[in-house]
Amino acid sequence: MPNSLSMRMRPLPSRRFWVALFAGLLAYVAAGAETSKTGKGGARPDAAQRAAALKRVCERLGIGVGMSIADVGCGNGGDTLTFAEVVGPTGKVFGQEIEQKLLDAMMQKARERKLTQVQPVLGATEDPRLPDGVLDLIYMHQVFHHFAKPSSMLSNLWIDLKPGGWLVIVDRQKGPQREWPDLAAREKKHFWTGETTVVRLAREAGFLFASALDDLWMDKEPFVLVFRKPAGIKKPAGDPDLPLAINGKAMASALPALPPGPATVLFAGLDQGRLALPALRQQFKSRPVILDVVLEEWTTQNEELPSDLRGNASGVVRLVKGDLPEKTGGGLQAAVFADSYSRLWDPAPLLRRLRQELAPGGYVAVMDRHGPEGEPRRLAGHHRHIAPGLVKADFEKAGFALAKELKPPAADRFFLLFRPAAN
């Protein structure tokens, strides 16, 4: 039996041994890397996961055998082929692109797999050129942010869907718009479109917001928004899910009077809430400075303004990262949210600022559409409603106290008045 000294004195392995060992390690690493790229049947795991995610989305929406799907901006057809499996040989899948070479590549794959249900469509930048009224599902993956004329494209997609058909938009940048390039620049470069902008444009094109299916996707970075074409509407006339009309004068008259002297009022109104702005101007006899607040969650272009200013406001202030860009200059007596609070992606920065700047006796009023308690803020904003309990919790956290529940100006609304809580 060799002693410990003889074991320590053994000669070191030769150079040839180390070369062979290193080569073996390289081969092992290369094989592992190749294995990490391929799964069952040689498919990349990311591609397999994506296919599984698409099938989960289709199952959730009731899309299956014999139905019709359009893959808009299909690239070389990876998702198109998955949809072909979903609808089977009796269904139809339209792979749409604006470059013929991509369609050629897609069709080559379809022919190799004998997927006769796949049909190529050469579209244009503002018209997908899909068949009208026959589609059960239109799907876009990281395509929407390239549209130079998104409203025109959405209008055409609305026509292409069957009544009750689904529009699924998968893209990046959750939350409000952060980049403001010229729309024409979007076609060739990646300027992400904010999720809230996508929702606004789709609703204005006549789509109902249905849900977000991020939980079914294979990674958490993109948003997965689902819209639906309403049944029973032959021609869209804007957002099909607007709240009830309000009596702007009744809303304004319910607010407490402002104290005498100079005063500033912030007004953030959207949709029907805009009707309150001229009424506020008439209601406040002290002729305060009324600043019309433009929300990032509403704008689609950096310089976009409400179309109905018409001298009702003294000026405009744009929120930047959810906050006022600068102090109001003192004398802030009131802030009024009219059908707009539900749109705020994160109200905390703005509420903190209002708490700091409100003059003694000042208040914040929130009028919005009733939403279900427990609904996440993100979905509430996309549905254009919010739970009163969530609003109260936001204000309490920011240092406000509920002063009064005012009479709402319509049956589907609530109207809350807050004042700074006593220290």
Whether the pLDDT of residue 331 is over 60: the answer is yes
Q: Domains of the chain, with CATH numbers? A: 42-228 (3.40.50.150), 248-420 (3.40.50.150)
What are the residues facing 266 on neighbouring strands?
291, 335
Mark 179-196 as b/e (b = at least 16 C-beta within 10 Å): eeeeeeebeeeebbbbbb
Characterize the bridge pairing of strands 223-228 and 264-269.
unpaired
Return the biggest CA–CA distance within the chain: 108
Query: Residue 243: what are its φ and ψ, rounded to 5°?
Result: -70, 170
Whether the pLDDT of residue 213 is over 80: the answer is yes
Token digits for 80? 């198109």
Q: Give the pLDDT confidence score for residue 51 in this predicted structure.
A: 97
Q: pLDDT tens digits for 283-329?
A: 887 678 899 999 989 887 777 877 766 667 788 898 988 999 887 76
Whether the pLDDT of residue 12 is over 50: the answer is no
Whether the pLDDT of residue 162 is over 90: the answer is yes
Q: Give the pLDDT confidence score for residue 10 in this predicted structure.
A: 39
Whether the pLDDT of residue 414 is over 90: the answer is yes
Characterize the bridge pairing of strands 223-228 and 161-171.
antiparallel
Cα(394)–Cα(371) distance, integer angstroms:
15
Q: pLDDT tens digits for 119-137?
A: 999 999 889 999 999 999 9
Least confident segment among 165-174, 185-194, 406-415: 185-194
Whether the CB-CB separation of 252 and 334 falls below 8 Å is answered with no
Of all residues in the chain, the percent with pLDDT exceeding 90 is 67
Which residue's structure tokens are 């000026």?
315
Q: Give the pLDDT confidence score for residue 423 in this predicted structure.
A: 75
Task: Give the mean pLDDT of the chain.
Answer: 87
Kindly state the helix (H) or strand (E) to which residue 83 belongs, with its residue range: helix 78-87
Q: Which of 413, 281, 399 is nearest to 339 (CA)?
A: 413
Cα(416)–Cα(408) distance, integer angstroms:
9
Which DSSP string do the residues of 14-28 spell out, in sequence order?
PHHHHHHHHHHHHHH
Average pLDDT over residues 155-165: 98
Of the CA atoms within 13 Å of residue 89, those in its CB half-sphere come to: 4
Of the CA atoms within 13 Å of residue 29, those in its CB half-sphere come to: 6
What are the residues facing 420 on neighbouring strands?
400
Q: Give the pLDDT confidence score for residue 178 in this predicted structure.
A: 78
Least confident segment among 42-56, 66-80, 117-131: 42-56
